[in-house]
Chain A
């Protein structure tokens, strides 16, 4: 983003359009990079999605890997080579493919998991992918209005900042899950620990009320 702020200081430049283009380009880069990285974790789910869409089983692995590679390529290229137009064309091609998949799921009338962002954002293929196509195209047009000219260094820095920021967004949820699991573990440990008499093998034990410790 350093470049975007530098632009503000250049007199005579169309700040509004330029900044909008920069933001659109970065948003596209971040979205596709995050989508690719999220899919890495849910590769098996992505394969199932392809299978449900009618792709032969033997091709699902390569198709899933190919999609991740192409998304990653598009995301990184948008950040590193902002003057190039092919990454933006790639984005439109990917968006068209997503819309086609959404339309196919609608035609098939089958609930097919999207796995667009792995486990980050669960959902089903359908109208959302179809309606997203104009949005992707609009973002690409915005990014192309005044193509950014930042250096690859700025691009890499911005991309790593965006990925780190999104990774940090997962921390509160992760902590919440961990706290709950820890509380459960502690409660169970207390129930089965020495205070409960587990240290004394001669003591008749009922492990837990929910497992049928009958009074009579």
Chain B
């Protein structure tokens, strides 16, 4: 009887081994399909050209950003689905290091967009006639530019709220010195 049980145990171990291997294969397969279909939540770098290193005020952003140590300017359009999901994820609160520029597309409902997602905040702007985006050469949303020491450092797409929160600059207050 014991030997029968041990044989069953061996068979069970073999089945578990094969099942786990099959699961790994299946997951890799799904990953491959997603990559092939471009269904991947992955930010893409955007080329800023000559605007890289420029002061934010030079492209029409608020002059206060010229003195910002680190900040992120997020460009959302009022019609793109991902932009709406990102705006919803903010839940009406704009983090300290984040500025939002709303791009009105096709209509002038940008104010409605701001109202819908409770984004009434001093760090939320409406880019009438897409002047700022035009200056930057940005033609896709949602995207973001990053400001470091008062200069535009780089730009990238923001394909999801997960990516937004993962790249959002964090400001850590200086702790008081002891002693």
Please list the residues of chain A having a beta carbon within 8 angstroms of any beta carbon in chain B.
33-34, 37-38, 40-41, 76, 118-120, 152-153, 156-157, 159-161, 163-164, 166-167, 170-171, 173-174, 177-178, 180-181, 183-184, 186-188, 190-193, 195-198, 203-216
B155 → chain A, closest Cβ, in Å?
Answer: 12
- Counted as pairs of residues, one from A and one from B, with CB atoms less than 8 Å apart, the total is 166
Measured in the bound complex, the distance between the Cα atoms of B34 and A187 in whole Å is: 13
Find A167's partner among B6, B7, B13, B25 (CB 8 Å cutoff).
B13
Query: Within 8 Å CB of B20, what residues of A?
Result: 167, 170-171, 174
- Which of B48-56, B64-72, B73-81 is near enough to bind chain A? B73-81
Q: A40-B18, A164-B13 are in contact. List 10 more A-B contacts (CB 8 A).
A: A159-B10, A160-B6, A161-B13, A163-B10, A166-B17, A174-B27, A181-B30, A188-B41, A206-B82, A209-B157
| Distance in Å: Cβ of A131 to nearest Cβ of chain B | 27
A207 vs B83: C-alpha distance when bound (angstroms): 10
| A198, chain B: closest CB distance, angstroms | 6
The answer to whether B13 touches A204, judged by C-beta atoms less than 8 angstroms apart, is no
Using a CB–CB cutoff of 8 Å, the interface residues on chain B facing chain A are 2-3, 6-7, 9-10, 12-14, 16-18, 20-25, 27-28, 30-31, 34, 38-41, 44, 77, 79-85, 88-89, 103, 105-106, 130, 133, 138-143, 157-163
- From residue A199, how far is it (CB to closest CB) to chain B in Å? 11
21 cross-chain CB contacts under 8 A: A41-B18, A41-B25, A120-B21, A153-B2, A163-B16, A170-B17, A170-B20, A177-B27, A187-B159, A187-B163, A195-B89, A196-B82, A196-B84, A198-B81, A206-B81, A208-B159, A213-B77, A215-B77, A215-B130, A215-B138, A216-B139
Q: Is the CB of A208 within 8 A of B81?
A: yes
- Measured in the bound complex, the distance between the Cα atoms of B17 and A38 in whole Å is 8
**Bound-state Cα–Cα, A163 to B77, Å:** 54
